[in-house]
Amino acid sequence: MLVLVAPGQGAQTPGFLAPWLELPGAADRLAGYSVAAGLDLAHYGTKADADEIRDTKVAQPLLVAAGLLAAAELNTVPGLVAGHSVGEITAAALAGVLDRSDAMAFVAARGRAMAEAAAVTETGMSAVLGGDPEQVVAHLTALGLTPANVNGAGQIVAAGTLAQLAALAADRPDKARVMPLKVAGAFHTAHMAPAVAALEAVASSLSVGDPVLPYVSNADGKTVDNGAEVVRRLVAQVSNPVRWDLCMETFKRFGVTAIIEVAPGGTLVGLAKRALPGVRALALKTPDDLEAARALIAELGAPAEERAE
């Protein structure tokens, strides 16, 4: 069984979208996504520098657009879909919960709301790599930090004020490394509570359908078969922790044999390689990876995509 996964914020790099736009039809699709998001995504994905695409208002729509472009090139129906943080919006579109235009409008509103919430206090996130998970969580709590992403494979992401993160860098958990992340706020914490109300208002205007294939929620790793519940979770997740570790446990229960991470892939495949031994994992970093991905899909016998863009 194949699971298609979509990465979260921080996966973007300057110019990463350029080779994707050379594919037939990709520039036209991105132009439509840009209109829905109210942003020139072609500029941000090809010419903008690291600081510009670090901006939450830009990074989030850019990542969802990239994921949708890459998934369209695969022309397949996976057995499961899931996304990390903002990648859940990509997954919701792939599952048929949101059409592409609504997904792009929603993620643009999400990016704006979270950027506004992040501007209230100087906050950020750092990955804690290694150490005993229970001891790491206890250490973060003692410093006033939130374990905002419990990713499994020895990785927990701490979120809080810059002062709290500086304290973490100076006082690391036993046998753990700390790595600052390229994000502009303490996402998936109480710092993002103001964004929830803003997204609730946007969600009420969306056209929502039930998932047409199993959708794994990163709130708790459970599959959700009701579209309205998926959207409720998309709204709530901006201020709640991501439990990617539980998503990977669900992949095990479903008997997943292969994972493909849509562009800009790499982060989730890295976690899978450590947490899901024996599962084949492939990241779509550039279009050069499509040949291997299609070969893997053919080997699995996954059905072709029939839904419209």
Q: What is the DSSP secondary-structure string of 170-195?
A: HSPPTTEEEEE-S-SS-TTSGGGHHH
Q: Which residue is listed with tokens 């990463």?
A: 16
Residue type, 45: G
Q: What is the DSSP letter of 288?
A: G
Selected catalytic residue, list 85, 126, 217, 239: 85
Selected catalytic residue, list 84, 139, 188, 191: 188
* Residue from 264, 261, 267, 298 nearest 283 by CA: 261
- Assess whether 191 carries a catalytic annotation: no
- Assess whether 188 carries a catalytic annotation: yes
What gap in Å lies between CA 174 and CA 239, rounded to an integer?
28
Both tokens of 289, joined, read: 């990876």
Both tokens of 247, joined, read: 């998503």
Q: Which residue is listed with tokens 């994921």?
A: 67
Q: Annotated catalytic sites, by residue?
A: 85, 188
